[in-house]
């Protein structure tokens, strides 16, 4: 990626190091002023451990305690209530789900599970609609361009999911039932044996709430209720070898079986035939990894990770010769090497090498149209470095990365972030960054669309922000502008995909939080102005304004709370004609309560869409009405 600005990154890095040299001899006063070790630590913003208050990038941390407090059961809905994120879904639980971050679509948001890339090479997006929250320990969300650390897809941000595995001995069993024939449950155990920690979780869910498509809008669609059945499991083993070395391995797997509606499914050669058919998807995802960490001395720490993510999906239809009868298989194999150096008390440098091997197969790629699995493969070699430092009132983060793909060539991305502590409570932040997205296999090879000569999409962002923290209060404001070029879009002139489109996204995010004793209140609002620069129109399905408010009280045996989310009207394509339309604004509220009968036994109650709001995330597709669920949890 050519840019004079990012060619100067190495020079800026040296300049930043020169201004940070006073940190080479830390004073006793600074050491005594170090914050408490209980402050949250995150990894995703720099790929190394960093205390949350010192992070320059806009970050949201969702802990296991947050998940349990909110009684969240839907990962897409949990994420969509965070600043800068929006979600669309074509039906009920487990249906096709898209996540938007700062206006970037699903193929522009990188999703990781324990550091492994979940984005499939087939579409460039992550298949995560069926991820069960009972298998999650915490979630780190970094908003904004992060290709300088993670490579392709990280245009709108990075969502990293860490699978379940606590630090103390614990065991729990929980179950819940409610509206829409819903039933879910989970068993989780963590045990420590001297220097060994073993964690395991098994979870399952099923529901059959409503028809995915509203038959009032699409009469030819099957009006029966569409169900979902999901099973997930995690297993994590960690072993310490003395104080300097840690080894580990983890496995996460899920199977998601979903009924869905296709308004255009019809027998081959008779597209006007009734579509009252049944369509089903059976998707499986498995993620394994092995990792090691060794501290050589007081300065150097080495890390290594090896892992693989596989996706297999089979779609079937009761309509003869349906185009919904197809199979998909995808694989990401990754190897990561990283060296961290502590250059001074508050200055660290990281150097890394990533290797990615991707393969994707689909019956849709078969040039003979005989429904034969046809596949493509590629690999990418990537080198990156990062510098993070703090001196008195100044903070700096510098990243530089080069990715070399075997099929579409190379891309160089960078990030420069600077923070200045105006007062003890107020931090001002400025940041410039670049990102890219490698074309997916669908972009390159899909019949009557693909173009093997496509180049990566490119994005550049600038951002300014304020962060405030005092006592029980915290607040953040970020204003950003991102321009994306070489967007991949179908060209009627060449009758295939081309790098012809450009898009502009600008906006602002405001976050507020207050916590005192048993009370906790959180607020976020996002303004988003998107534009397809070729047409001057807003990008589809991005609400220009969203706001979310949450309040919880945890006192004694009782815990009660609620959340309200609002999304403004946004553009979409009509489900029947594809004409441009507007989806109405909506406001959705949820309420939760729990009661500790004993220290081990807890009763839970939650209500989703408490005011029975009628709304759509995608034109023609149904969403939950008012729904009530009750559950029980036993801790041992």
Q: What is the mean pLDDT of residues 48-52?
A: 93
pLDDT given at position 30: 30
Q: Given pLDDT bands bounded at 50, 70 and 90, which one contains residue 276?
A: low
372-392 per-position pLDDT tens digit: 999 999 999 999 999 999 998
Q: Given pLDDT bands bounded at 50, 70 and 90, which one contains residue 194?
A: confident
Q: 510-517: long-range contacts (C-beta < 8 A, 24 or more apart)?
A: 510/83, 510/475, 510/476, 510/477, 511/83, 511/474, 511/475, 511/476, 511/477, 512/473, 512/474, 512/475, 513/473, 513/474, 513/475, 514/472, 514/473, 514/474, 515/472, 516/472, 517/555
pTM value is: 0.91
Q: What is the mean pLDDT of residues 280-304?
A: 95
Q: What is the mean pLDDT of residues 105-133?
A: 92
421-443 per-position pLDDT tens digit: 999 999 999 999 999 999 999 99
491-548 per-position pLDDT tens digit: 878 889 999 889 999 999 999 999 999 999 999 999 999 998 888 999 999 999 999 9
Q: Given pLDDT bands bounded at 50, 70 and 90, which one contains residue 267?
A: low
Q: d(Cα 415, Cα 56) in Å, to the nearest integer?
A: 11
Average pLDDT, the chain: 90
Q: Given pLDDT bands bounded at 50, 70 and 90, which one contains residue 619?
A: very high
Say if residue 561's pLDDT is above 90.
yes
* Radius of gyration from C-alpha coordinates of the chain: 24
Task: Output 145 or 128, whichever has higher pLDDT.
Answer: 145
Closest C-alpha among 453, 539, 467 to residue 108: 539
Say if residue 5's pLDDT is above 90.
no
pLDDT given at position 17: 34
Which pair of structure tokens corresponds to residue 578? Answer: 């594809």
Please give the order of strands across the beta sheet that includes 109-113.
59-62, 136-143, 157-163, 109-113, 116-117
């Amino acid at each position: 990626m050519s840019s004079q600005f990012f060619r100067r990154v190495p020079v800026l890095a040296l300049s930043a190091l020169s201004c940070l040299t006073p940190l080479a001899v830390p004073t006793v006063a600074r050491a005594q002023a170090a914050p408490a070790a209980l402050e949250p630590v995150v990894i995703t913003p720099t790929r190394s451990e960093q205390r949350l208050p010192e992070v320059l990038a806009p970050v949201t941390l969702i802990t296991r305690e947050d998940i349990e407090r909110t009684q969240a059961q839907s990962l897409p809905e949990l994420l969509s209530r965070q600043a800068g994120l929006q979600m669309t879904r074509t039906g009920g639980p487990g249906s096709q789900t898209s996540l938007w971050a700062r206006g970037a679509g699903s193929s522009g948001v990188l999703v990781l599970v324990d550091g492994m890339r979940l984005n499939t090479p087939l579409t460039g997006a992550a298949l995560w609609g069926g991820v069960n929250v009972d298998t999650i320990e915490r979630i780190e969300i970094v908003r904004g361009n992060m290709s300088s650390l993670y490579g392709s897809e990280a245009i709108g941000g990075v969502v990293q999911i860490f699978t379940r595995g606590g630090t103390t001995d614990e065991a729990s069993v929980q179950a819940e039932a409610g509206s829409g024939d819903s039933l879910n449950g989970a068993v989780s155990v963590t045990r420590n044996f001297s220097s060994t920690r073993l964690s395991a979780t098994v979870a399952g869910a099923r529901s059959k709430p409503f028809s995915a498509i509203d038959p009032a809008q699409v009469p030819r669609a099957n009006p029966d209720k569409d169900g979902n059945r999901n099973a997930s499991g995690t297993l994590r083993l960690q072993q310490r070898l003395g104080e300097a070395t840690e080894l580990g391995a983890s496995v996460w797997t899920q199977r998601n079986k979903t009924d869905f509606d296709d308004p255009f499914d019809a027998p081959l050669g008779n597209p006007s035939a009734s579509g009252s058919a049944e369509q089903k998807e059976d998707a499986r995802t498995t993620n394994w990894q092995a990792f090691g960490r060794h501290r050589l001395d007081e300065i150097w720490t080495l890390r290594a990770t090896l892992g693989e993510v596989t996706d297999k999906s089979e779609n079937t239809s009761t309509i003869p010769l349906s185009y919904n009868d197809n199979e998909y298989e995808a694989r990401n194999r990754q190897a990561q090497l990283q060296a961290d150096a502590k250059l001074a008390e508050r200055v660290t440098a990281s150097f890394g090498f990533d290797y990615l091997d991707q393969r994707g197969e689909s019956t849709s790629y078969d040039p003979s149209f005989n429904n034969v699995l046809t596949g493509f493969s590629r690999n990418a070699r990537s080198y990156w470095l990062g510098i993070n430092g703090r001196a008195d009132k100044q903070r700096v983060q510098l990243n530089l990365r080069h990715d070399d793909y075997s099929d579409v060539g190379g891309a160089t991305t960078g990030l420069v972030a600077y923070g200045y502590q105006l007062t003890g409570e107020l931090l001002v932040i400025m940041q410039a960054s670049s990102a890219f997205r490698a074309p997916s296999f669908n972009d390159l090879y899909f019949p009557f669309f693909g173009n093997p000569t496509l180049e990566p999409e490119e994005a550049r962002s600038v951002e300014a922000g304020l962060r405030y923290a005092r006592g029980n209060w915290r607040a953040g404001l970020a204003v950003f502008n991102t321009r994306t070029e070489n967007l991949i879009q179908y060209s009627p002139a060449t009758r295939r995909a081309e790098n012809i489109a450009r898009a502009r996204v600008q906006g602002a995010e405001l976050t507020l939080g207050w916590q005192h004793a048993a009370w906790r209140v959180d607020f976020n609002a996002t303004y988003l102005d998107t534009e397809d620069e070729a047409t001057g129109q807003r990008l589809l399905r991005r609400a220009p304004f969203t706001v979310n408010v949450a309040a919880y009280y945890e006192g004694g045996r009782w815990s009660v709370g609620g959340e309200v989310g609002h999304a403004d009207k946004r553009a979409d394509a009509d489900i029947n004609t594809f004409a441009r339309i507007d989806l109405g604004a909506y406001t959705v509220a949820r309420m939760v309560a729990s009661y500790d009968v004993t220290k081990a036994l807890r009763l839970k109650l939650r209500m989703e869409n408490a005011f029975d709001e009628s709304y759509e995330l995608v034109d023609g597709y149904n969403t939950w009405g008012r729904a009530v669920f009750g559950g029980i949890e036993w801790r041992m």
